[in-house]
Structure 1
Amino acid sequence: MTAIGMRAFIRALCTIIAAHLTVLLPPSRTEASDKLRLQLMWTHQAQFAGIYVAVSKGYYAREGIDLEIIEGGPGIAPIERLRTADADVALAWLPAALAARLRGHDVVNIAQIFRHPGIAIVCRRGPGLQSPADVSGKTIGVWNTGDELQVRYWLRTLGISRDSVRIVQQRSDALDLIERRVDCATAMMYNEYWSILQSGLSPGELFHVRFADSQQGFLDDGIYVNAETLQDKQRHQALVRFLRATLAGWQYARENPEEALAITMASAPGVDAAHQRRMLQSVLQLIGNDRNAGLLELSSYWSGVGVMASEAAKGQDVQRAAHAGWTHSIWRATKPAGGDPFALSQSTRHYLTETVRSRWFYVLDLVGTVAFGIAGFMRAEQRRYNLWGALILTLLPAVGGGTLRDLLVGGDRHPPFMFKDPTYLYLVLAIVALGAWLARILPEGAVGSRTFERSLTFFDTVGMATFTVIGAQVALIAGLHWFWVPFCAALTCAGGSMLLDVVTGREPRTFQGEPYEEIAVLGGLMLLLGLWLANKFEHSQALVAAVILATMASVFVLRLCVVKYRLRSYRLRA
């Protein structure tokens, strides 16, 4: 083949390859951008710095999003702009969203930029006004954008009658407080508070209460869309890309605050640079800096809902309206696939934690603790130990397994649970005291009677079922890999008894053929599988509770079957 023929052949081959690649490769996102209109809550300022950065750095363009930013201001209600289809996405406060849902507007939170509420009530010190307890008879300025509900709830927690306080509409720039038109005023700690200080007032002339410190604040700067938007697959994917770009913008702003400030100043000409710098610093603290940035934390969400419900005429209507007022599906889709396949979603994690912290579950936990403690005291009574020996032998099975588990898991489990809640120690002391007294007055053999043994077995089984769930829950909430879940369940159930056997110089009975840890392992695996299925239903707390109850019932039945039919596990030698 000649040189000319070879060049022609290569050109033809390259043309064919390029044609195939054009067909096989997905189109560039910039070629088919999705148009989105974002309504801000207020005028251009550092409160929205991450968005400006994402535009400036091309993050939205890279994600195939053609973003139009609509400036907010006095008289502009972002949620209302969603209802009238003048915006596709809106930044808004939780009270505004819940109020819209109560009116029948199905608006949904898809992400939460500010992890913590930034609102506070600021008061000028003066005669008769030195602390929150002195606000009775004073005038408080509010914006009536939901902040008035927080003020009323705050007054109720202080035991101050609403009628003893005058609540008035204030201007949006904190001038009413500065000019002494009001004694106290609601203010955003990243905005109006700095304006108050900039006016010449010193921190010593003021006192303020951040509602977030007492779990009273409403979440602000949530990202909201109309629910129908989520049903459209193409729009759903566009929202995923929009959120990914937005979070990337905030991440860059956190790492490069001075550049983010410069970009903000370019987007908001005429604003005060020093004020915007302070605002950006405060805002970045509200956003946080971890892998859950942008995630709506359900504990904070429901805390705000509870405040609003308590101030509403029909609180149950508020609770119902809030039920499906959020989704984590957009936020989860921004994260790369992979990792632990059985990792809990944030909603399932929340429901699991809330159930385990409930009063009824706590009572079952205490019942199990008592049963395990009685078993240990009986061992001490059989060996005729003194009170100190009885205390140690009662303590080990009652709390030993959970303490071992917490020491191994560490993190939020340190110090171990028994040091955080003295109730467990009180129960152990009560068992020893009551047991020592009964040992003197009961006839010989009463403690070892068949009725007593059956009762002890029943309560021991209740404790085992409860401890199985608690042990598995600790591993799941700690974010351990799935295979540690059954291990923690077994350790919580049997760890204390094994310590008891070691102290008393006896081979652990669970090593000699009686299935015990095996049942806890099966219970942990069952809970794990059930919660994995519950991940698919993010608004169903009842499903998580059902999984927990089913696990406990299964462990309870299996344990009773082992006792009744004297079942034995496989042994290395017959």
Structure 2
Amino acid sequence: MKKSRLIAGIAALMLALTGCQSGSNQEGEAAPDKVTIGLTYIPDVQFAPIYVAEANGYFDDAGLDVTIRHHGAQESLFGALSSGEEDIVFAGAAEMVQARSQGIDVVNWATLYQTYPVVLITSADSGIETPADLAGKSVGLPGPFGENYYALLAMQDAYDLHDSMTVAYIGYTQTSALATGEVDAIIGFSNNDVVAIENAGLEPVVIPMVEDGLPLIGVGFGSLEGSLDADVQARFLHAVELAVADAAADTEGTMDIVTEHVPSLADETQRELATQVLIKTLELYQGSEVFGQQDNQTWNDMVQFLYDSGITETFVGADEAYTSEIVDLVLDMRAQ
């Protein structure tokens, strides 16, 4: 795990997170640290914790001046991070490893989704009860990229399905493809695709992709290795942790905040659906006693899987790809 450039921030972190820094510019107080967070999609309810941290003043309280930057539809995941336009990126762990194998020195420093969000979704009459039942059947997903695709490859490995099932790349039409019988099952996200399918009047059957768990890690925060700043990033992580707790405790208030970023949610029907997505998304943060926890075994399993699957052309070790130092510093702060 990456430890260089981080230890020097411990003393500053202890001061910052115990109230010795603030976001104001009053005489004798430090100016806030400027941070740009890259959210790798258009404004969406799934980014609610970031919006809540801003609206409820947790970034300000942490002495941070945060700019929220959403990526355009055609924008690369790590282009703005590489150019210095962003300081932190919210992205999939596997995608960070893939980028690192291509020469971008991104390091993951917190895992947000403690449960990997990709699942196999089918209908009750499909005859599919486990992934092994996909032999001779078809499964649809957007394309040969991203978290859906990585989960597909892991499932095929686990159940020896590479030559016995049909894979259809159907774009973002999973709901209609399943409803019309174009495919027997889809690979989608537990927090939004399941909601969309239920809203279409179907009764989805949700099946884990691999019984013992996928060798994959969910989305998290990453920064360039050369720009790691323990003080700033630990304060940022703690602010988001507080926001996740707020969002879970007050979903209606959270939806009010999200609607400021996603005006279409002023429509009652759209808001109801988005609220369901919010609740399911917040569930993904659960599963660990430590917010942002990094699982060393799963990291090692993932980097090996990505290399063996050809997703990374050069091997990236887990000790290069992630660090637990930021999460550990927040824990140290709490112990003071």
- Using structure 2 for the length normalisation, give the TM-score: 0.80
Q: Is the 8 A contact 2:303 2:317 kept in 1?
A: no
Preserved CA contact (<8 Å) 1:118 1:286 = yes
Amino acid at match of 2:243: G
Rounded to whole Å, the distance in 2 between the matches of 1:129 and 1:245 is 42
- Paired residue for 1:38? 37
Aligned length: 306
Deviations 1:512-545 (A, max 9, x none): xxxxxxxxxxxxxxxxxxxxxxxxxxxxxxxxxx
How far has the Cα of 1:146 moved from its partner?
A: 3.9
Q: By how many angstroms is 1:299 displaced? A: 2.8
1:227-272 Cα deviation digits (max 9, x unpaired): 0101xxxx44222221121111112222323322322223222131
2:70 and 2:179 mapped to 1: Cα distance? 27
Matches within 5 A, 1:549-568: none
Is 1:327 the counterpart of 2:328? The answer is no
Contact 1:92 1:221 in 2 (8 A): yes
Question: 1:138 maps to what in 2?
Answer: 137
Distance in 2, Cα, partners of 1:128 & 1:332: 46
**1:286 aligns to 2:284 (yes or no):** yes
- Cα deviation for residue 34 of structure 1 reads 2.0
Q: Is the alpha carbon distance of 1:133 and 1:301 closer, same or farther for their aligned partners in structure 2, counting shifts above 3 Å? A: same
Structure 1 residue 256 and structure 2 residue 250: aligned? yes
Q: What letter is aligned with 1:33?
A: P
Give the number of the structure with larger relative contact order, counting CA–CA contacts within 8 Å between residues 6 or more apart.
2
Residues 23-102 of structure 1 aligned to structure 2 (within 5 Å): 28-31=22-25, 32-72=31-71, 74-102=73-101
Distance in 2 of aligned mates of 1:28 and 1:335: 20
1:106 alignment partner in structure 2: 105
The answer for unaligned runs of 5 or more in structure 2 is 1-18, 26-30
Residue 298 (structure 1) shift: 1.9
Deviation at residue 165 of structure 1 after TM alignment: 2.5
Give the match for residue 192 of structure 2: 191
Instruction: Decide whether the 8 Å contact of 2:131 with 2:209 is kept in 1.
Output: no
1:170 paired to 2:166: no
- CA distance in 1 between counterparts of 2:81 and 2:66 reads 16
Letter in 1 for 2:248: R
Query: Residues 283-313 of structure 1: CA distance to partner in whole angstroms, max 9, x if unpaired?
Result: 2221127640122222332333343233238
Following TM superposition, by how much is the alpha carbon of 1:50 offset from its aligned partner in structure 2, in angstroms? 1.3
What corresponds to 1:489 in structure 2? Answer: none
Report the counterpart of residue 122 of structure 2 in structure 1: 123
Aligned equivalents of 1:213 and 1:243: distance in 2?
A: 31
Larger radius of gyration: 1
Residue 139 of structure 1 and its aligned partner are, at CA, apart by 2.9
Partner residue of 1:302 out of 279, 300, 303 = 300
Q: Which amino acid aligns with 1:40?
A: L
* Cα pair 2:118 2:190 within 8 Å, conserved: yes
State the 1:36 CA deviation. 1.5
Partner of 2:272: 274
> How far did residue 131 of structure 1 move?
4.9
What is the CA distance between 1:90 and its match in structure 2? 0.8
Q: Structure 1 regions of 5+ residues with no counterpart?
A: 1-24, 341-574
One-letter code aligned to 2:213: Q
Give the CA deviation at 1:221: 1.8
Check conservation: 1:102, 1:321, Cα contact below 8 A: no
Q: 1:155 to 1:254 in 2, by over 3 A?
A: same
The 5 A counterparts of 1:141-160 are 141-143=140-142, 144-160=145-161
Aligned-residue CA RMSD (Å):
2.8
CA contact under 8 A between 1:118 and 1:212: conserved in structure 2? no
- Amino-acid identity (%): 21
One-letter identity of the residue aligned with 2:57: G
Shift of 1:226: 0.6
Cα shift at 1:201 = 0.7
1:381-530 alignment, distance < 5 Å: none
**Is the contact between residue 111 and residue 222 of structure 1 (CA under 8 Å) also seen in structure 2?**
yes
Cα pair distance change 1:182/1:256, threshold 3 Å: same
Corresponding residue SS for 2:24: helix
Per the alignment, residue 361 of structure 1 pairs with: none
**Contact 1:118 1:210 (8 Å CA) reproduced:** no
Tell me: CA distance 1:212–1:190, structure 2 relative to 1, closer, same or farther (3 Å). farther
Distance 1:170 1:302, change over 3 A: farther
CA contact (8 A) 1:216 1:307 kept: no
Q: Can you list the C-alpha shifts for 1:55-86, whole angstroms capped at 9, x where unaligned?
A: 11111112121212122464333333322333
Q: 2:122–2:186: 8 Å Cα contact kept in structure 1?
A: yes
Q: Quote the Cα distance in structure 2 between the aligned partners of 1:336 and 1:313.
A: 36
2:241 to 242, 247, 251: 247
Distance 1:41 1:217, change over 3 A: farther
Does the Cα contact within 8 Å between 1:190 and 1:283 map onto a contact in 2? yes
Instruction: Answer yes or no: is the 8 Å Cα contact 1:121–1:209 preserved in 2.
Output: yes
Choose between structure 1 and 2: higher helix proportion. 1
Assess, with a 3 A threshold, how the Cα gap between structure 1 residues 124 and 28 changes in structure 2: closer, same or farther. closer
Distance in 2 (CA, whole Å) between partners of 1:238 and 1:90 is 14
Q: CA shift at 1:314, angstroms? A: 7.7
Q: 1:130 to 1:247 in 2, by over 3 A?
A: closer
Q: Which residue of 2 aligns with 1:484?
A: none
Deviation at 1:177, TM superposition (A): 2.9
Q: 1:109: how far off?
A: 0.7
Distance 1:75 1:136, change over 3 A: farther
Cα deviation per residue 1:399-453 (whole Å; 9 max; x = unaligned)?
xxxxxxxxxxxxxxxxxxxxxxxxxxxxxxxxxxxxxxxxxxxxxxxxxxxxxxx
- Shift in Å, 1:125: 4.9
